[in-house]
């Protein structure tokens, strides 16, 4: 008796909701659509003005004086040298930060120890620091007034205002990138599989190669791409430490600055277009990896 | 004996996997040499100043105005980014439309585009002869070489942080609550502000904090559009740079130390606010 009544009630409620839904749906869908298209419109406009337009400006200005002028600016001796240095610094930063990212995320995700949280926080520091401060830190360490300055001078090693300084500054700025992509993936995977393999007698390298690595390969590639993007475009830190020696310690972004400050606007934009092309390639690679990851 | 040690460690559930020592060693060595030692140098160098000297440097008018410009512009830029970032995340998660993947891919552009390139491009666009700047110039509004321009450049560099912080949380959000609210008669706006927004708020705050911190420290994209007019559009990182060029290392160190403390304090504040809010919403 009691049970029957409850069913009856539920039916009424169910019917009620169904009928409300039927009545409400057409009206709410119309207003939802207006909101939807308004929001999509605002977002598209925002992205066009804020992100796409600056790219268009670079390309248009680069080609303003014609194709020959563009080729001349891009094939300039200093441009080529700057490009080489940028690539060198990027490769070095990616290599070092990949090694660090692999070890650090393995450490923090597979082992539990005191100070784990503190270590994770310390690794993230370069992320929240102004690049200019990063550059200053290296000057205060390795420069003439730095506490290692005398030692380096006596041994004839030049770091500040030289290529090693540029590489160090680039590494510093991109330090947490690979780690940040790897750690969440390794952490989510847990350590059961590695423990099982270890108990069955696999050595550390085999465990990493056969068990950990297959899980993280796309995340690793993703981290490397982000790291390369940031390393290639680093300006503030490198600017402090480079000394702006043309053909020696000039990276591509610094070369852009010099040309721009000399009012060689077209050349500055032409050199910028190389960086824009690299940035777009990186974005495409990034989206491809993101798609593969899923 | 050796067997026993392994057993004890297994009981505690630690360190069955080999490689702890090596990983710890490599991590600490690289972190130490590449990040911590240089950073400590700033503190060592700052400690050579007496407290009075330090205070005298940072309360000089030029430097205080540098902090004010950096902090206020970064704050407004982060605020604007929070609004547009939330909107972009919403559109990317909830709606289907042609070009959605392209829009999603574009978000990271400020991240991939070198800041110096963004800087000269934005300056060209918003100067009084540029495509957008000339338009505003007729209305009597100057954008390049004013604080509006600085804020604009900071919006440019900060937008991916907010979108990428909010997007994953919004994707995981259970739509049942919204449906329940709608069913109970709440309007779309009411549902958004009372049901969806509180769930997204910690992520939004994290994105805001990252964008804010990035804005304060940003140099490359801001320095061109700022124009560096003393007391008006000089940002704090630029002051460090110009002090270095004048070989005034003490001044540069003092400015950097304050900037470091501000960004650490900010990160700490936002972290603790997030933890507090997560606790609050769970119970």
What are the tens digits of pLDDT across the range A124-173? 888 888 999 999 999 999 988 888 888 888 888 888 888 999 999 999 99
CA quadruple A123, A129, A130, A135: dihedral sign: negative
Using an 8 Å CB-CB cutoff, list chain A residues near B36.
Answer: 122
Of B20, B117, B155, the CB nearest to A275: B117
Task: Report the pLDDT value the prediction gives residue A30, as an integer from 0 to 100.
Answer: 56
The fold adopted by the segment(s) A66-293 is MetI-like fold (1.10.3720)
Please give, one letter per residue, the 3-state secondary structure of B68-79: HHHHHHHHHHHH
Looking at domain B44-282, its CATH superfamily turns out to be MetI-like (1.10.3720.10)
Task: Report the pLDDT value the prediction gives residue B151, as an integer from 0 to 100.
Answer: 95
Nearest CA in chain A to B35: A172
Q: What is the pLDDT of residues B217-258, one digit of tens each?
A: 899 889 999 888 888 889 999 999 888 888 888 889 999 999
Q: What is the pLDDT of residues A213-231, one digit of tens each?
A: 998 989 999 999 999 999 9
Q: Which of A194-208, A270-284, B29-43 has the lowest mean pLDDT?
A: A194-208
Task: Report the pLDDT value the prediction gives residue A273, as an integer from 0 to 100.
Answer: 93
Please give, one letter per residue, the 3-state secondary structure of chain A: CHHHHHHHHHHHHHHHHHHHHHHHHHHHHHHHHHHHHHHHHHHHHHHHHHHHHHHHHHHHHHCCCHHHHHHHHHCCHHHHHHHHHHHHHHHHHHHHHHHHHHHHHHHHHHCCCCCHHHHHHHHHHHHHCCHHHHHHHHHHHHCCCCCCHHHHHHCCCCCCCCHHHHHHHHHHHCCCHHHHHHHHHHHHHCCHHHHHHHHCCCCHHHHHHHHHHHHHHHHHHHHHHHHHHHHHHCCHHHHHHHCCCCCCCCCHHHHHHHHHHCCCHHHHHHHHHHHHHHHHHHHHHHHHHHHHHC
Q: How confident is the model at residue A10 (pLDDT cuts 50, 70, 90)?
A: very low
Which of A70, A178, A167, A86 minimizes the C-alpha distance to A123?
A178
List B residues 162-201 in contact with A (Cβ-Cβ < 8 A).
182-183, 188
Written as six digits, the tokens of A96 are: 């070092």
Q: What is the pLDDT of residues A62-121, one digit of tens each?
A: 998 888 888 888 888 899 999 999 999 999 999 999 999 999 999 998 888 888 888 988
Indicate the Cα dihedral angle A118, B12, A180, B169, nearest 10°.
Answer: -100
Task: Report the pLDDT value the prediction gives residue A31, as an integer from 0 to 100.
Answer: 65
* Nearest-CA distance B111 → chain A (Å): 7
Q: What is the pLDDT of residues A23-62, one digit of tens each?
A: 454 445 556 788 889 999 999 999 999 899 999 999 999 9
Asked if residue A287 lies in contact with residue A111, where contact means CB atoms within 8 angstroms, the answer is no
Nearest CA in chain A to B238: A132
Of B35, B114, B216, the CB nearest to A126: B35
Using an 8 Å CB-CB cutoff, list chain A residues near B35.
Answer: 122-123, 125-126, 172, 175
* Nearest-CA distance B135 → chain A (Å): 14
Q: Where are the domains of chain B?
A: 44-282
How far apart are alpha carbons A255 and A272 in whole angstroms? 9
* Nearest-CA distance B270 → chain A (Å): 13
User: Consecutive 10-residue runs of chain B (283 residues): their mean pLDDT?
Assistant: 45 69 92 91 88 88 91 95 95 90 89 91 89 86 89 94 92 86 84 87 90 90 87 89 87 91 85 76 54
Task: Report the pLDDT value the prediction gives residue B11, as an integer from 0 to 100.
Answer: 45
Q: Is A141 on the interface with B (CB under 8 A)?
A: yes
Written as six digits, the tokens of B63 are: 């430097």
Which of B202, B195, B205 minimizes the C-alpha distance to B174?
B195
Q: Where are the domains of chain A?
A: 1-62, 66-293
How far apart are alpha carbons B227 and A41 in whole angstroms? 33
Flag if B224 and A36 touch (Cβ within 8 Å). Answer: no
Written as six digits, the tokens of A246 are: 């043309």
Q: What is the pLDDT of residues A58-68, one digit of tens each?
A: 999 999 888 88
Q: What is the pLDDT of residues A243-268, one digit of tens each?
A: 766 667 889 999 999 999 898 888 99
Task: Report the pLDDT value the prediction gives residue A93, as an integer from 0 to 100.
Answer: 95
């Amino acid at each position: 008796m009691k049970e029957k009544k409850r069913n009856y009630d539920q039916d009424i409620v169910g019917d009620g909701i169904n009928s409300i839904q039927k009545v409400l749906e057409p009206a709410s869908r119309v207003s939802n659509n207006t909101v939807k298209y308004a929001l999509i419109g605002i977002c598209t406009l925002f992205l066009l003005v804020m992100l796409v337009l600056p790219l268009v400006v670079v390309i248009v200005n680069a080609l303003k004086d014609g194709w020959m002028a563009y080729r001349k600016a891009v094939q300039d001796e200093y441009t080529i040298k700057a490009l080489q240095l940028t690539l060198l610094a990027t490769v070095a930063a990616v290599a070092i930060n990949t090694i660090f990212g692999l070890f650090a995320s393995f450490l923090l995700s597979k082992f539990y120890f005191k100070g784990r949280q503190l270590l994770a926080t310390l690794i993230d520091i370069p992320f929240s620091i102004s690049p200019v401060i990063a550059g200053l830190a290296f000057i205060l360490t390795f420069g003439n007034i730095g506490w290692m300055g005398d030692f380096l001078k006596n041994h004839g090693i030049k770091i500040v205002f030289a290529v090693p300084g540029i590489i160090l500054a680039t590494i510093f700025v991109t330090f947490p990138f690979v780690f940040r992509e790897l750690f969440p993936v390794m952490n989510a995977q847990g350590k059961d599989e590695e423990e099982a393999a270890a108990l069955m007698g696999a050595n550390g390298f085999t465990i990493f190669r056969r068990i950990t690595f297959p899980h993280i390969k796309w995340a690793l590639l993703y981290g490397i791409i982000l790291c390369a993007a940031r390393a290639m475009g680093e300006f503030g830190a490198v600017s402090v430490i480079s000394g702006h020696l043309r053909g020696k310690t000039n990276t591509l972004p610094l070369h852009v600055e010099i040309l721009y400050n000399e009012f060689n606007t077209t050349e500055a934009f032409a050199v910028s277009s190389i960086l824009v092309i690299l940035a777009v390639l990186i974005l495409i690679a990034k989206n491809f990896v993101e798609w593969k990851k899923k | 004996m050796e067997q026993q040690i392994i057993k004890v460690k297994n009981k505690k559930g630690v360190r069955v996997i080999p490689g702890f020592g090596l990983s710890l060693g490599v991590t600490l060595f690289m972190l130490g040499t590449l990040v911590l030692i240089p950073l400590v140098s700033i503190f060592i160098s700052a400690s050579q100043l007496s407290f009075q000297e330090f205070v005298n440097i940072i309360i000089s008018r030029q430097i205080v105005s540098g902090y004010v410009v950096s902090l206020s512009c970064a704050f407004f830029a982060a605020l604007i980014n929070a609004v547009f970032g939330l909107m972009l995340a919403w559109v990317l998660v909830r709606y289907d439309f042609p070009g959605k993947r392209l829009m999603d891919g574009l978000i990271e552009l400020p991240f991939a585009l070198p800041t110096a390139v963004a800087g000269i491009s934005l300056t060209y666009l918003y100067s009084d002869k540029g495509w957008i700047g000339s338009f505003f110039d007729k209305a009597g509004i100057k954008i390049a070489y004013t604080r509006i321009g600085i804020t604009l450049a900071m919006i440019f560099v900060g937008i991916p942080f907010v979108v990428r912080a909010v997007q994953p949380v919004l994707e995981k959000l259970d739509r049942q609550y919204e449906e329940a609210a709608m069913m109970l008669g709440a309007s779309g706006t009411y549902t958004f502000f009372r049901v969806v927004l509180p769930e997204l708020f910690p992520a939004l705050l994290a994105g805001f904090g990252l964008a804010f911190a990035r804005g304060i420290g940003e140099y490359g994209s801001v320095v061109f559009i700022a124009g560096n007019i003393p007391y008006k559009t000089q940002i704090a990182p630029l002051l460090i740079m110009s002090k270095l060029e004048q070989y005034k290392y003490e001044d540069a160190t003092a400015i950097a130390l304050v900037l470091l403390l501000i960004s650490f304090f900010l990160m700490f504040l936002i972290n603790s606010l997030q933890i507090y809010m997560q606790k609050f919403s769970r119970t």
